[in-house]
Amino acid sequence: MERIVHPIPPFYTKDSRILILGSFPSVKSRESRFFYGHPQNRFWKLMALLLESDAGRAPQAVEEKAAFLKRHRIACWDSIHACDIEGSSDSSIRNVEPNDFSEILSSCNIRNIYTNGKKSHEIYARYCLPMTGVEDICLPSTSPANAAWSLEKLAEAWGVVLADLK
């Protein structure tokens, strides 16, 4: 078990309308220094499918991902600032320090906060909600560990974000 401080700064612009929170970056995300860096994570394919109608056009490079988020007015970060974790395993997370969202929430007109998966939701509800006072909307995880959810089923559930982006 290793103590890790979140190495990726929050991504947002003054025009961001929604905030999507993971739990804590995977090993691959920590290596790439951007969100959802594991090639099997379906986040980028899902967002491309929802917002540009083509999962095959999902952004690949960090610069493309950042431009995609900016173009669609999406802020991204994670619920956890620091924790003890084994590799990328959410179930191993211990000794949580939550992130502080005050800068994002005061800089943007965030309409809703969406948590990507149950662990992010649990952390947000326990540690972050008392600070923000803003309820989150829990969506099914895009992680490859959530294999029971197909891309199509994820798109159906995640379609709720579209109303906030209009």
Q: What is the CATH number of the domain that holds 157?
A: 3.40.470.10
Q: In 55-94, which positions are buried (b, 16+ CB within 10 angstroms) versus exposed (e)?
A: beebbeeeeebbebbeebbbbbbbbbbebebeebebeebe
Instruction: Verify whether residue 116 is a known catalytic residue.
Output: no
Residues 80-139 have pLDDT tens digits of 999 999 999 889 999 999 999 999 999 999 999 999 999 999 999 999 999 999 999 999
Alpha helices in the chain (DSSP H): 27-32, 43-52, 62-71, 102-107, 118-123, 129-132, 151-158
Q: Which domain holds residue 108?
A: 2-165
Q: Which of 41, 109, 112, 146 is catalytic?
A: 41
Q: Is the whole-model pTM more than 0.75? A: yes
